[in-house]
Structure 1
């Protein structure tokens, strides 16, 4: 039995996008930082991994979903998770978060933050 867990992740992927609840946000846009982490049980056969996650694929998924304007950041995160699961059904856990830099609110706010977690064992 394999007791190892492998993590493949991208941290601090920076994007400019038009996400936001208010129409003005969807016109002027904002800067976002995305973190995406996957965990799974690696399977090594004859000194090669038979299942792993390609972080280039993760980057492609993030960039694709960031181009599609959404009102809710939760929708963006959910879409990212669904695409990762479809491409890599063996992934056991996915954590994805997004930070909106300088959200348009009163006061000095560094960023807003939304995180979504998928756990295959909870299904």
Structure 2
């Protein structure tokens, strides 16, 4: 008997947002790049969107959460995961990461990076 794991993901979702710990970061904003990956066991392979994760929904979740200014990127990621779990309770693993491009620090830094992974208990 075959067993499958299915992955539905969005990579390199680009956003401008006002996230940052310091007040000036929340005023000037920054560019961010988000990756979101979901993994689950498909129940069947009917040619129906209701049988999978709709990556359009994932995009809406990301864009909405990026509009909600937070001090910590970890909070943004936790909120994204919570929304995905709420919409798709059958998802077994959610991994979301965010890059803050050219963070405002001395030196030449390409990006800072935070990743959060949620694994549903069996």
- Correspondence for 2:84: 84
1:58 aligns with 2:49: no
Secondary structure at the residue paired with 2:85? helix
Q: Distance in 2 between matches of 1:90 and 1:2?
A: 19
- Correspondence for 1:38: 38
What number of residue pairs does the alignment pair up? 121
Secondary structure at the residue paired with 1:42? coil
- Correspondence for 1:6: 6
Q: Distance in 2 between matches of 1:25 and 1:48?
A: 45
Q: Distance in 1 between matches of 2:3 and 2:67?
A: 38
Q: Distance in 1 between matches of 2:40 and 2:2?
A: 11
- Correspondence for 1:106: 106
Structure 2: where are the runs of 5+ without partners? none
- Please state how far the C-alpha of 1:43 moved relative to its aligned partner: 1.5
Give the RMSD, CA atoms, in angstroms: 1.4
Using the size of structure 2 for normalisation, the TM-score is 0.94
- Please state how far the C-alpha of 1:51 moved relative to its aligned partner: 2.5
Using the size of structure 1 for normalisation, the TM-score is 0.93
Q: Distance in 1 between matches of 2:52 and 2:3?
A: 16
- Correspondence for 2:22: 22
Runs of 4+, deviation exceeding 6 Å: none
Q: Which has the higher strand share?
A: 1
